[in-house]
Structure 1
Amino acid sequence: MLPHTLIEVTSFGRMPREGGVHMYFSKKAVVPVEEEETDVWTCSTDGCTCWMRDNFSFEKSPTCPFCQGEMTKDTRMLPVLMNHSKRNS
């Protein structure tokens, strides 16, 4: 029979007793994520679910990076992200 390991839940900043393990629990406040309607490219191939944000694509009319299919312009409600890289427009 294998020996059992005891896990002791201790409060923050206290050392566990010999053989014990520190475990911490916290409830973080849920922060709402700001979303906006965003231009995206969506793969038009049946069965392919690939899409990308327009301002993160490197081409004016990109092809699907997974299946090389044609992509069409669309919009989605997505979290706000800033893309600070420059691309050739």
Structure 2
Amino acid sequence: MTLGTGIVVGSVPSAKVVSAAAMSETSAEFGLAVVGSLGYRTRLAIAPDVPGELADGARESHSGAANSAARLGPGGALSG
């Protein structure tokens, strides 16, 4: 149990400990996801010759980047 979860769990009635721990852990995971997503967007490098719609898709999400890469194909040429 992390320090933050320990503080949260220690501050609620014993009947609500399980719910408090679950909320604390979920919040921590969500926070990591948000920070990771922001880091992804700010550090993503896209070649200047990638078409705009594919570059936008790659900036939007990890799955968007995978879709854009699939459309570009192994050699970088558009496929489909």
TM-score by length of 1: 0.18
More strand per residue: 1 or 2?
Answer: 1
Which is bigger in relative contact order (C-alpha 8 A, separation at least 6)?
1
TM-score by length of 2: 0.20
More helix per residue: 1 or 2?
Answer: 2
